[in-house]
Amino acid sequence: MTFPDDTIRIAVRDHYAEIARTETGCCAPAPPSHSDASCCTEPEQIGYDPADLAGLPDEAIMGLGCGNPVALAGITEGEIVVDLGSGGGIDVFLAARKAGAGGRVIGVDMTPEMVERAERNATRAGLENVEFRLGLIEDLPIEDGTVDVILSNCVINLAPDKAPVFSEAFRVLRPGGRIVVSDIVRSGPAPAGIDPRSWSSCVDGALALDDYLEVIAAAGFEAAEVLRRDGEGSIFSATVRAFKGAAAAEPPPEERRACACGC
Ligand SMILES: C[S@@+](CC[C@H](N)C(=O)[O-])C[C@H]1O[C@@H](n2cnc3c(N)ncnc32)[C@H](O)[C@@H]1O
């Protein structure tokens, strides 16, 4: 790697701090200093149902994701969920509706301005089962084995080294827990040079899909599977699910109940 990890992380943090400070989010007309909003996508384009977004604060819907991991995570009442790189909080709030009052959703983000924005949004939304923590996804401020579901949306590509991100996700999940992440990946090799300024665009740091799945497996996850792919070019978005341990093979609770009576 041409640049030390910290150089990239600082460039990424500065980029998202500037986006967080804008009043409207990056799908609105860009301010003069932020004309390269290349992570910005209309929510419907990446799998959000407008009906699900109704009732969320406008400032949470920033167009920074590249998929809808909550829709594919099967979150149920009472689950503990962590969102890696939570931004303005969109996926935290959607997950919180599914986890209900008995569950809890924690967003982790390294950019103080994003955490502040997400906290304002939580107050506006009146949600009490959510929480935002300032921290690195490579060093999660979460206890071992306490989480049912890890989510992330268009963030892990921004990490200079993906291995510690997945190791940390594995550490905090309970046995049988799952990770469901949407991210930018590529079909071809990574670009030869690295420019910390363009890393924030979610393209320079994207791994080849096979390499991405390999890093997930190397962290200890099992049954990694691509649940959805958006885009046909050499750079595209994939939503991937993997499990910590044998729960991968377990049927959902309803099927288990039916089976107990007849098989
Ligand atoms: C492209 S935005 C995605 C935000 C959100 N997931 C969404 O879908 O709207 C990337 C976010 O990840 C955060 N981020 C990037 N690298 C991070 C890291 N290493 N640790 C913690 N947060 C990080 C940034 O501060 C930013 O808020």
Helix residue spans in the chain (DSSP H): 5-21, 50-53, 69-72, 90-99, 112-125, 163-172, 196-199, 209-218, 253-262
- Which residue's entry shows tokens 């190791």? 167
Residue closest via CA to ligand 1's atom 5 equals: 87
**Cα 103 to ligand 1 centroid, rounded to whole Å:** 23
**Cα 47 to ligand 1 centroid, rounded to whole Å:** 19
**Cα 87 to ligand 1 centroid, rounded to whole Å:** 5
- Determine the residue of 140, 155, 167, 183 to mutate for testing ligand 1's pocket, defined as the one with the most ligand atoms within 8 A of the Cβ atom: 155
Distance CA 105, CA 158 (A): 22
**Cα 119 to ligand 1 centroid, rounded to whole Å:** 15
Determine the straight-line distance between the first and last CA of the chain, rounded to whole angstroms. 55
- Which residue's entry shows tokens 């790697």? 1
Q: Where are the beta strands (DSSP E) in 144-247?
A: 147-153, 173-186, 222-230, 235-243
pLDDT of residue 259: 33
CB atoms within 10 A of CB 251: 10
pLDDT of residue 233: 86
Question: Under a CB-based contact definition with an 8 Å cutoff, are residues 69 and 182 in contact?
Answer: yes
Which one, of 231, 207, 93, 205, lies nearest residue 151 by Cα? Answer: 93
- Determine the residue of 16, 42, 113 to mutate for testing ligand 1's pocket, defined as the one with the most ligand atoms within 8 A of the Cβ atom: 16
Q: Which atom of ligand 1 is nearest to the CA of 85?
A: 12
pLDDT of residue 116: 98
Distance CA 136, CA 84 (A): 9
Distance CA 47, CA 165 (A): 24
Residue closest via CA to ligand 1's atom 8 equals: 65
Question: Under a CB-based contact definition with an 8 Å cutoff, are residues 200 and 114 in contact?
Answer: no
Residue closest via CA to ligand 1's atom 11 equals: 85
Domains located in the chain, CATH noted: 5-26+43-262 (3.40.50.150)
pLDDT of residue 199: 78
**Cα 160 to ligand 1 centroid, rounded to whole Å:** 13
**In whole angstroms, what separates CA 78 from the centre of its chain?**
20
For the chain, residues with pLDDT lower than 50 are 1-2, 26-38, 252-263
Q: Is the dihedral of CA 2, 168, 116, 61 positive or negative?
A: positive
Query: Taking CB atoms and a 6 Å cutoff, what residues make up the pocket around ligand 1?
Result: 9, 12-13, 16, 39, 62, 64-65, 85-88, 90-91, 109-111, 114, 136-138, 153-155, 158-159
Distance CA 110, CA 130 (A): 17
